[in-house]
Amino acid sequence: MRPLLATRDAGTNLLVNDLLCLDRAIRTITYAAGNYTGGTAAYEPIRESFAEVNRTNRIAYYDAMNIKPQSIADSNRIFAVVSNPIAPDITEAVNGLLGKKALIDAAGLSKETADGLNLISYDHDTLSLVAVAPKLNVATIPAASVVCL
């Protein structure tokens, strides 16, 4: 029997799915950096990966702005995805780019790479602090500070 007032989804599944899509986009940076052999033309996959991370982040931002306040359990689900796989994959992507720094510098693409990383950093901050944080259960904030470090 279905209750008269069914509980509506708080949007957690949508946001978690968005975050997993964002993580897949982040991993494209690692892949593109790993395959970069130097030069401007070979840099295009890195450029595209920055654009994909920005695109998926904007989707997650929009959806996060429209979800309901989250329960403790749902807030913890969101933290779990951010702490693993997203946080380690961001580190791996940045390290992948750092590993190609000499080639990127030689191609004259250092500023573009820095701009791409700054865009991703800004996107991360706005998604985390402006869109998601206000929806999380206050009781989970200590857990969030550990994830964000």
pTM across the whole model: 0.88
Enumerate the domain spans of the chain.
Answer: 12-148
Give the N- to C-terminal CA distance of the chain in Å, as an integer: 46
Asked whether residue 6 carries a pLDDT value surpassing 50, the answer given is no
pLDDT at res. 140:
85
Residue 135 pLDDT exceeds 60? yes
Instruction: Report the C-alpha gap between 45 and 37 in whole angstroms.
Output: 11
* Secondary structure, 3-state, 9-29: CCCHHHHHHHHHHHHHHHHHH
Segment 27-85, tens digit of pLDDT = 999 999 999 999 999 999 999 999 999 999 999 999 999 999 999 999 999 999 999 99
- Average pLDDT of the chain to the nearest whole number: 91
How many CB atoms are located within 10 Å of the residue 10 CB?
A: 16
109-119 mean pLDDT: 97
What length does the chain have?
Answer: 149
